Structure 1
């Protein structure tokens, strides 16, 4: 029996070693590391010697473990997750050899180790393995906070302008996602519990996703569902007050892509729109056709008659409409547009139907609602215009139209019947607004298709991946700043700009705009002029592109970035030494000269940062009292290569806007693309795959960076791990920062909402969610004096199934509000 056990163990180790060596040969021929070849041969020799019951197997196994550990520290330093796959396999082999060492014989016939020595060595190695395993269950910050002292307060009254409410998608129109409340703080957040739960009834299934951040005005909370149903709730109890269903149509574009990230609010008495500045016209009676439930009693309606629809909730739909509701009753404001709706396809031409739709919260400022739209990416040329339009919130009349093909020259709306020039960069996120300057700021994408640049118009290149400043009342452009010169990788800028007044050493302040990008670059710009405040450098990038492709010789890089370091072979990762080797081989096989390495038809090109981010639409937050920028990011590399459309059809690739094949009809090439993962379905590059980072804007220095999320609920090939290992997973949505020293977040792939210490990044509390979340939390103080934190959870991002989906709105509060 002993011979059978040792023989079997030896054969397994030898075969694994030969496999490692064979892969190592391949890696060496590609110019990669020699370690895997050498280690594989030594591992195979160890297995052979175990098979032969030779004592030397123990000493070779121990030497292999020692050398692999030294090599690992030499290659990656003390990075825990980088060390694990490099040493664990050899540690296990050494442990196995130690356990069987009394059965391994010297030439003299004596065992390699006596029983006590073998036991002692086995315990030491087992303790080392246990320590590694235990280390997997605790977070390993990428950057550890140097101090537990909170950042100094530089704006003591920050956040107070919004009172007890959350009046806009990013709380302020400047998108800071900051509240001045400190009732919930680092010392008592551990006591946080669910205050109420509400279910909307619109499940996130069949392509629907909950990415909404509610708003709260006075004593009412407002939110929308993926089907654009608008709901009003009591913010202290979660009781429904009314709902309105615009009954959106399914189109070719939205049938598998429904989102509503937020609604906007306006009080026309406080901010008269252009049509009301000479006094509002008499309003029609909208009580007969409200589309709402639980409308107020007749006596209450009579008392409100004079003010019906003066306070409006405004939002857009995934079938390209914008509509207005009375904030008190949910009644459709029939004086707005055509019976309450404005058709946003007007002026966009025949290609817009089914391709142009809206998903993000609109900006309402100075009586104008600003509208941009999402276009289907990567299917074909000739997509509709990316024109950004401003409508009168009172009447729905079009006031201005900023069109990239005209740029700063003209923002006058076209006359009826004319079509805005197609194939221009679009804006599909949420804009920001500075009331002191009267400027609205919005980010743009690029001309679709995303991966072929040979057909780009000069004005598309001029405005691709840009942030644009316009006068909110007229739409006239004041300035624009490009975050990429020519974009060939879908790096459209989608995060809401964050506005902040940055203190300078001389005591003055500079009004800045912080633009987060999918590239992981953090551009800090003077929002008056568009000039960089944090240095921006034009760096050379690879230009060996396909014939007729247009690429830029340089690209802009900010002095502040997150997760944008150039990948090297040693950054390749895997759960074991074997899939790590696979990833290193695949990396060496790809084209990769750094970011913006052009695609080719000959071999795959690595795309990093990936086209999901960096920073996506969820944006970031800023502790406006201290000037600490807090951002979550995604770190997922992709690969892509050009393929002829007819070849793609022959091999059965299915074109889509978001999938693994982009047809790009009208261009010479389609694009096959995918995530860069190992056969185990695990990313091929080092963790974390998502993090939370705090940056001191006054110095540009990163205060801390921690992994966000665990593998607990993230299925790999249909298997849910169920273990709480904080590897740091791709994130979605954005953070909320409070003056209580906390950062709240729930856009992880596991089912938790968390509170981090804003000073150190340490997790202070987490609450289990029924399903995953994707939006950003919000906070307010209710009429009961309690501070609430609210999250919306409909399921983790893009699972591809209808499993583990929901429709939950969950409010958290302390059991008892502390005395004020």
Structure 2
């Protein structure tokens, strides 16, 4: 027993000493004094335990009492915040209590009797077990008021697309809503795998499966990270055809292979409708004749429709490739539409300036699904961030869906959207658009979000037109590209807050019975901007707030930034939000936080010390976007909550210290500017984020009121590696998410973009998990749903591996369809 108390005392004293020394450091930075005081008491308690002195027990109890008061004062009943503040001290009190009969006072009396010590130890043990059990249950940030189903305000929502999923967001409005009710809350727990297909294109070597497939008639269409297009039978998963454009893998593309989706168009109805319209207009020129011979006019239209021949390759799949080509395939055969562009291809690099010498070869490419609507293909492009100035233009272009001819080209540096004359190039460095656009066919307007001028962190070389259009939503006439309006979500973006998610278009009911056509734009900043899509005016209030401006000499810094009345995960961090698995890494995180520059959002970077970046530049909301239950007006979104830090560093200093430059890694040169930039995730030495959970969530917002209905953590630590170790514990901490949700008329939200290997179905009214199924590997796309020719509703996911694992382990190439069991 003496050896046990000696070892326990030594461990306790060392823990106390570490807390005491770290506490002095934190207090000297203006932080909490708790660790200093608790550390001193624990050190003395440890020495007492080693000496088997009775006072050790009372000091352990005092530390526990002190930690309880301090914890509830700082964080109230926040479960995950209480864990590192209390568990260790409860455990110490439990062990000390169990050894109390061996501890003596100076007069030789026992510190506590056997029964009393056992009772206290049991109480501590039960409390510990309760905490541990609580770790395996989700702790919502916002709990639903009740489980009452949301009122239906639009009964025909989603029905315009029938049984299909013909666009990336199901419709060009980006709703990701399928009205099907066959799979619902009552039977979702019966879902089973209906079929599985493997593409043969493993997500290795920098490849990521982020695709949402399409479904038209009885065919599912998808693309692989290597830009291969595959068509599958929608009810069996059997391959119909595949096409390989054999993209050139440049240095820039080597570690960034993605294809998030393809587009679809049927040229026949467009051509025939236009021809029929001309007949109708001709008849309308003579109203009397039209009235006298209405049957003849009807006959003319019918004959015109029958006589008009559909163009070759009438039903087309449109793809953009990772080597910056646009191509058209026959949707029925998978063969190139040779009348499109040059033998089926359009070179998207035409009109762009060369890649700067300091950057990587082939920095311009396309990873997101094109918008294809009303005979026009709208595409943007991806550029390398942060390696160099003079990156190619971020021009957004519209092409004819039949011929591939360039119709218009919108660019921030130009006043017109007319295509450039042959031989001319678009101005380099303009803000680009790298997501998927949305389209309102009634208004004839397309909407696309923009990023900013590269590089992201140094703003001293920004052009006035770049500042005007960075991180904006731009509305253009789809047929001409002429701008109607734009709205900026950030003023002079210093932090890679590109607006990347597809805008969601929705008709918002108002109290007076009218509706307002709105555009809902999610941002990396976690702000949700709701605008009147006719003119770009905010529908939910937007406030310009003062932000810090003490940046580096030569920087352009805006004094205000726009903040929306709707947001998720945007509350500024403070010292009490620092977190860790133990008191020690929580103390470490507090010290790091106090040492950083942080005066709230948009605190500028410095070369003197690290600056905290929160929300982080991965989001907030990233390219996966959100979904809306268009029948109830409920917006459902997944987010990322990861803080980062950054600081400027001279390029020659970075080179001498061995930092390796890259566009996405921990160091980028920003060649052509005075500074490189070093940046990383804000984590503890254990690899755990330094701020409170959740690190990713799913949130439901009632758009009629702006109220958050519920918010739940998404994902567990089960498959998440920390320094190469995977715990395997199904603890729903809420992990960073990728991809987007699918919402259905059955009252369900499906999601599989978590770091653990599951697809889940949540209750739209409460956020409760109703079903989950294990996946072969992690996923990061968005599910989709359709009704097959057999009358069954399918939910389909593409599963290729969790995001940015840094290795080729646990990668896949799976397409998995779920359905209810077939009726007997």
Q: TM-score range by the shorter chain?
A: over 0.9
User: Is 1:506 aligned with 2:505?
Assistant: no
Aligned to 2:366: 358
Contact map agreement 1:273 1:393 (CA 8 A) in 2: no
Structure 1 length normalisation: TM-score?
Answer: 0.95
Question: What is the deviation of 1:456?
Answer: 0.2
Contact map agreement 1:786 1:817 (CA 8 A) in 2: no
User: Is 1:317 aligned with 2:321?
Assistant: yes
Supply the distance in 2 between the matched residues of 1:755 and 1:306 (Cα, whole angstroms): 42
- 1:764-811 residue CA offsets vs partner (Å, 9 max, x unmatched): 000000000000000000011111000110000000000000000000
Matches within 5 A, 1:491-502: 491-502=497-508
User: Is 1:462 aligned with 2:461?
Assistant: no
Aligned to 2:454: 448
User: Is 1:704 aligned with 2:710?
Assistant: yes
Supply the distance in 2 between the matched residues of 1:197 and 1:496 (Cα, whole angstroms): 28
Supply the distance in 2 between the matched residues of 1:272 and 1:706 (Cα, whole angstroms): 48
Supply the distance in 2 between the matched residues of 1:385 and 1:643 (Cα, whole angstroms): 27
Supply the distance in 1 between the matched residues of 2:652 and 2:369 (Cα, whole angstroms): 39
Supply the distance in 2 between the matched residues of 1:654 and 1:700 (Cα, whole angstroms): 45
Aligned to 2:129: 130
Q: 1:65 to 1:272 in 2, by over 3 A?
A: farther
Supply the distance in 2 between the matched residues of 1:117 and 1:584 (Cα, whole angstroms): 37
Question: What is the deviation of 1:306?
Answer: 6.8
Selected match of 2:380 from 361, 372, 375: 372
Aligned to 2:166: 167
Supply the distance in 2 between the matched residues of 1:689 and 1:194 (Cα, whole angstroms): 30
SS of 1:510 mapped into structure 2: strand
Question: What is the deviation of 1:817?
Answer: 5.7
Question: What is the deviation of 1:276?
Answer: 9.6
Supply the distance in 2 between the matched residues of 1:558 and 1:629 (Cα, whole angstroms): 15
Selected match of 1:519 from 518, 522, 525: 525
Aligned to 1:223: 222
Selected match of 1:606 from 612, 623, 636: 612
Aligned to 1:413: 419
Supply the distance in 1 between the matched residues of 2:116 and 2:411 (Cα, whole angstroms): 79
Question: What is the deviation of 1:402?
Answer: 0.4
SS of 1:269 mapped into structure 2: helix
Supply the distance in 2 between the matched residues of 1:430 and 1:608 (Cα, whole angstroms): 25
- 1:195-248 residue CA offsets vs partner (Å, 9 max, x unmatched): 110000000000000000000001111000000100000011100000000001
Aligned to 2:332: 328
- 1:11-63 residue CA offsets vs partner (Å, 9 max, x unmatched): 11001101100000000010000011001001111101111111121122112
User: Is 1:240 aligned with 2:239?
Assistant: yes
Question: What is the deviation of 1:277?
Answer: 10
Contact map agreement 2:22 2:36 (CA 8 A) in 1: yes
User: Is 1:539 aligned with 2:538?
Assistant: no
Contact map agreement 1:215 1:223 (CA 8 A) in 2: yes
Supply the distance in 1 between the matched residues of 2:558 and 2:449 (Cα, whole angstroms): 20
The runs of at least 4 consecutive aligned structure 1 residues that moved more than 6 Å come to 273-279
User: Is 1:476 aligned with 2:482?
Assistant: yes
Supply the distance in 2 between the matched residues of 1:360 and 1:13 (Cα, whole angstroms): 55
Aligned to 1:727: 733
SS of 1:271 mapped into structure 2: helix
Aligned to 1:403: 411
Structure 2 length normalisation: TM-score?
Answer: 0.95
Q: 1:95 to 1:85 in 2, by over 3 A?
A: same
Question: What is the deviation of 1:110?
Answer: 2.6
Supply the distance in 2 between the matched residues of 1:528 and 1:775 (Cα, whole angstroms): 31
Contact map agreement 2:271 2:310 (CA 8 A) in 1: no
Aligned to 1:302: none
Question: What is the deviation of 1:161?
Answer: 0.5
Q: 1:488 to 1:277 in 2, by over 3 A?
A: farther
The range that moved more, 626-635 or 98-107, is 98-107
Aligned to 1:636: 642
Question: What is the deviation of 1:275?
Answer: 12
Question: What is the deviation of 1:271?
Answer: 2.4
Q: 1:276 to 1:386 in 2, by over 3 A?
A: farther
- 1:176-195 residue CA offsets vs partner (Å, 9 max, x unmatched): 00011011111111111111
User: Is 1:646 aligned with 2:652?
Assistant: yes
Contact map agreement 2:492 2:557 (CA 8 A) in 1: yes
Supply the distance in 2 between the matched residues of 1:813 and 1:56 (Cα, whole angstroms): 65
Supply the distance in 1 between the matched residues of 2:50 and 2:355 (Cα, whole angstroms): 70
Supply the distance in 2 between the matched residues of 1:211 and 1:709 (Cα, whole angstroms): 18
Contact map agreement 1:265 1:311 (CA 8 A) in 2: yes
SS of 1:631 mapped into structure 2: strand
Aligned to 2:785: 779
Contact map agreement 1:756 1:765 (CA 8 A) in 2: yes
Question: What is the deviation of 1:710?
Answer: 0.2
Aligned to 2:392: 384
Question: What is the deviation of 1:64?
Answer: 1.1
- 1:330-381 residue CA offsets vs partner (Å, 9 max, x unmatched): 0110110011000000000212860100000000111010010000000000
Contact map agreement 1:229 1:243 (CA 8 A) in 2: yes
Question: What is the deviation of 1:273?
Answer: 11
Contact map agreement 1:273 1:367 (CA 8 A) in 2: no
Aligned to 1:760: 766
Q: 1:273 to 1:586 in 2, by over 3 A?
A: farther
Aligned to 2:261: 262
Supply the distance in 2 between the matched residues of 1:391 and 1:224 (Cα, whole angstroms): 21
Supply the distance in 1 between the matched residues of 2:444 and 2:788 (Cα, whole angstroms): 31
Supply the distance in 2 between the matched residues of 1:600 and 1:277 (Cα, whole angstroms): 64
Question: What is the deviation of 1:114?
Answer: 2.1
Question: What is the deviation of 1:480?
Answer: 0.2
- 1:719-747 residue CA offsets vs partner (Å, 9 max, x unmatched): 01110000000000000001111000000
Aligned to 1:692: 698
Contact map agreement 1:183 1:817 (CA 8 A) in 2: no
Matches within 5 A, 1:6-85: 6-85=5-84
Aligned to 1:348: 352
User: Is 1:625 aligned with 2:624?
Assistant: no
SS of 2:566 mapped into structure 1: coil
Supply the distance in 2 between the matched residues of 1:487 and 1:74 (Cα, whole angstroms): 37
Question: What is the deviation of 1:89?
Answer: 0.9
Supply the distance in 1 between the matched residues of 2:654 and 2:686 (Cα, whole angstroms): 26
Matches within 5 A, 1:90-239: 90-239=89-238
Q: 1:403 to 1:274 in 2, by over 3 A?
A: farther
* Pairwise CA RMSD: 1.4
SS of 1:442 mapped into structure 2: strand
Supply the distance in 2 between the matched residues of 1:124 and 1:682 (Cα, whole angstroms): 30
Question: What is the deviation of 1:816?
Answer: 2.8
Question: What is the deviation of 1:107?
Answer: 2.7
Aligned to 1:681: 687
Supply the distance in 1 between the matched residues of 2:331 and 2:628 (Cα, whole angstroms): 29
Question: What is the deviation of 1:252?
Answer: 1.6
Matches within 5 A, 1:431-446: 431-446=437-452
Supply the distance in 2 between the matched residues of 1:394 and 1:181 (Cα, whole angstroms): 32
User: Is 1:583 aligned with 2:589?
Assistant: yes
Contact map agreement 1:272 1:367 (CA 8 A) in 2: no
Supply the distance in 2 between the matched residues of 1:259 and 1:534 (Cα, whole angstroms): 35
Aligned to 1:271: 270
SS of 2:270 mapped into structure 1: coil
- Show structure 2 runs of 5+ residues with no match: 279-308
Supply the distance in 1 between the matched residues of 2:114 and 2:88 (Cα, whole angstroms): 24
| Paired positions, count | 790
- Show structure 1 runs of 5+ residues with no match: 280-304
SS of 1:128 mapped into structure 2: helix
Supply the distance in 1 between the matched residues of 2:594 and 2:809 (Cα, whole angstroms): 37
Contact map agreement 2:268 2:310 (CA 8 A) in 1: no
